[in-house]
Amino acid sequence: MSSLLEQLIDALRVLPGVGQKSAQRMAYHLLERQREGGLRLAGALEAAMSHVRDCERCRDFSETPVCAICASASRDTQLLCVVESPADRLAIEQATDYRGLYFVLHGRLSPLDGIGPSELGLDGLAERLAAGEARELIIATNPTVEGEATAHYLAQLARRHGVRPSRPAHGLPLGGELEYVDRGTLSHAFGSRSEVV
């Protein structure tokens, strides 16, 4: 059994971009100078991991069964925007004046990794489209190879249910993650989206 210090260092390595060296530095920093902050971090982690779930409607993070956006009466429920991650959803919400609903994939189609339509919740999305819940499906997957393949699949799905598929305009950096695109570019690309052909 490893020591508590070793366990802490090991646990910190779950964070993205944190290797052994950084994890050691963080652990020593917390123990030497930030005991109070460390406890606050532990509490926040515990609470978030226990209580943040996926919204039943859009799969975005939510503490309630249905998130605030899906439950809002002031959104345009006929507009549905598909994004790969909750971070992309947040970026669009902060950078644009979009006031429709969202659908979060938590990934992208990647057959080699065993990620197909059902892993992304697309059966649920298809049901909503079949029920006539949207007139336009805005496909805001990332401009990567897998993101484009996912967009192609989503466009076909939309058409099958008589829903207009659209894409934010070009200008987004190729291979760039949506959440890192600057606000102006994202807002412009989103505002001048066009139908997928």
State which residue, 57 or 128, has the beta carbon closest to Zn ion: 57
SS3 per residue for the chain = CCCHHHHHHHHHCCCCCCCHHHHHHHHHHHHHHCHHHHHHHHHHHHHHHHHCEECCCCCCEECCCCCHHHHCCCCEEEEEEEECCHHHHHHHHHHCCCCEEEEECCCCCEHHHCECCCCCCHHHHHHHHHCCCCCEEEECCCCCHHHHHHHHHHHHHHHHCCCEEEECCCCCCCCCCHHHCCHHHHHHHHHCCEECC
Shortest distance in whole angstroms from residue 169 CB to Zn ion: 26
Distance CA 55, CA 58 (A): 6
State which residue, 30 or 138, has the beta carbon closest to Zn ion: 138
State which residue, 70 or 140, has the beta carbon closest to Zn ion: 70
State which residue, 23 or 120, has the beta carbon closest to Zn ion: 120
Contact 67, 60 (CB under 8 A): yes
Shortest distance in whole angstroms from residue 59 CB to Zn ion: 7
Site string for Zn ion, 65-104 (x = CB under 5 A): --x--x----------------------------------
Count of residues touching Zn ion (by CB under 5 A): 5
Shortest distance in whole angstroms from residue 66 CB to Zn ion: 6
Shortest distance in whole angstroms from residue 58 CB to Zn ion: 3
State which residue, 26 or 70, has the beta carbon closest to Zn ion: 70
Shortest distance in whole angstroms from residue 54 CB to Zn ion: 8
Return the residues of window 125-184 that contact Zn ion according to CB under 5 A. none
Site string for Zn ion, 43-72 (x = CB under 5 A): ------------x-xx--------x--x--
Handedness of CA 45, 50, 55, 58 (dihedral sign): positive
Residues that bind Zn ion (CB under 5 A): 55, 57-58, 67, 70
